[in-house]
Amino acid sequence: MRKILFIPILLICLPFAADAQTPKFRVIAFYTAKNDLAHISFVHEANRWFPQAAAHYGFSYDSTHDWKNMNPAFISQYQVVLFLDSRPDDSAQRAAFEKYMKAGGGWIGFHFAAFALTPSDYPQNWDWYHDEFIGAGQYKSNTWHPTSAILRVEDSSHPITRGLPRLFKSAPNEWYRWEKDLTKNKDIHILLSIDSSSFPLGNGPKPSEIWHSGYYPVAWTNIHYRMVYFNIGHNDIDYDHHTNKELSFQFDNLYMRKLVLNALFWAAGQKTKD
């Protein structure tokens, strides 16, 4: 009698064990983690949080600071590529990424991944990426100090914003303003913007670092690609007192976690998860 009962139970359990070991999709994160303690803090935070999320939600997560891995053979193993804090500078690596995206790959970029300013250590010398793909062009200015903002969902029907309230408060962040007006780009679909109730945003000390009005997108997609950019990824650091203590974390925020999980599943071509 025991043998008769045991065999069906074993047959039922084995498929579940196999499914648990097979990831729904694979994610690879690229990072540099050499410029600005706040960006480095976010990279370290992301590399703590993503493996936990992967274990819970059934995808796999790898990360690398070796940009030589940005080649067709390596990235073809993954359904989603993340840029945690920067971009590739080598022409062959850039070509590999562009080919990957045009072939239907998924991408999520955070904060500094879109930064470009000529002249600087990160000049705007990649037209396809900054002008066409992300669409923002060069960096123009930012708020300071890192400050929480009230964010407004511009499209509540999109899978990335699924389950979010119309308005919600972000973790402290440095917010970027861009060279190009994204509202005039027919290829850009804005998902989140800074709500006017956030103003004044920032506290200086420079007057230009305090925003009093304007329209500022902070998350958007390009309709021709499976991509999303988040202008989020700059933790608050105690620079003023020279302790360099981390004062905030992005993934402590419930809505940030929800946004990124939604974006991951969407970029991988999967249904979003609660």
Please, are residues 83 and 43 in contact by the beta-carbon 8 Å criterion?
no
Q: Look at residue 180 and tell me whether its pLDDT is greater than 90.
A: yes
Query: Residue 273's pLDDT is what?
Result: 60
Q: Please check whether residue 66 is in contact with residue 99, taking contact to mean a CB–CB distance below 8 angstroms.
A: no
Q: Which of 9-18, 124-133, 149-158, 243-252 comes out lowest in average pLDDT?
A: 9-18
Angle of CA points 137, 140, 144, to nearest 5°: 135
Predicted confidence at residue 12, as pLDDT, reads 31
Domains of the chain: 26-267 (3.40.50.880)
The DSSP letter of residue 170 is: P
pLDDT tens, residue by residue, 201-217: 999 999 999 999 999 99
The predicted pLDDT at position 6 comes to: 36
254 closest CA partner among 170, 182, 191: 170
Q: Where are the alpha helices (DSSP H) in 58-146?
A: 72-75, 91-102, 127
Closest CA to 261 of 230, 234, 236, 235: 230
- Residue 141 scores a pLDDT above 70: yes
Query: What pLDDT is attached to residue 5?
Result: 38
Higher local confidence (pLDDT), 14 or 68: 68
d(CA 88, CA 73): 16
